[in-house]
Amino acid sequence: MSYEKVLQAKNFIVGTKQTVKALRNGNVKEVLVASDADPHVTASVVSAAKETNTPVIYVDSMKSLGKACGIEVAASTVAITH
């Protein structure tokens, strides 16, 4: 599944605000969005990704996405950077 992409990535950003900022700066290869996250939270990330033609990959669980990032809390979005 896509969680392995985060585990293999050397550089990634966790969180919606930081992800949107990185997308606008052109530093993102792809974005992972948790399907169980609140759409109001992830909408800005998905919109910014579409504007910059960055691939968006949906994963099942915020909890699993956070765990894949090595953090103790759930993560709604993760950006894999260059």
Domains and CATH numbers, the chain: 3-81 (3.30.1330.30)
What pLDDT was estimated at residue 61?
Answer: 96
pLDDT attached to residue 24: 96
Residue pLDDT tens, the chain, 82 long:
578 888 888 899 999 999 999 999 999 999 999 999 999 999 999 999 999 999 999 999 999 999 999 999 999 999 999 8
CA distances from 75 to 61, 66, 82 (A): 9, 5, 20
Which pLDDT value is given to residue 39? 96
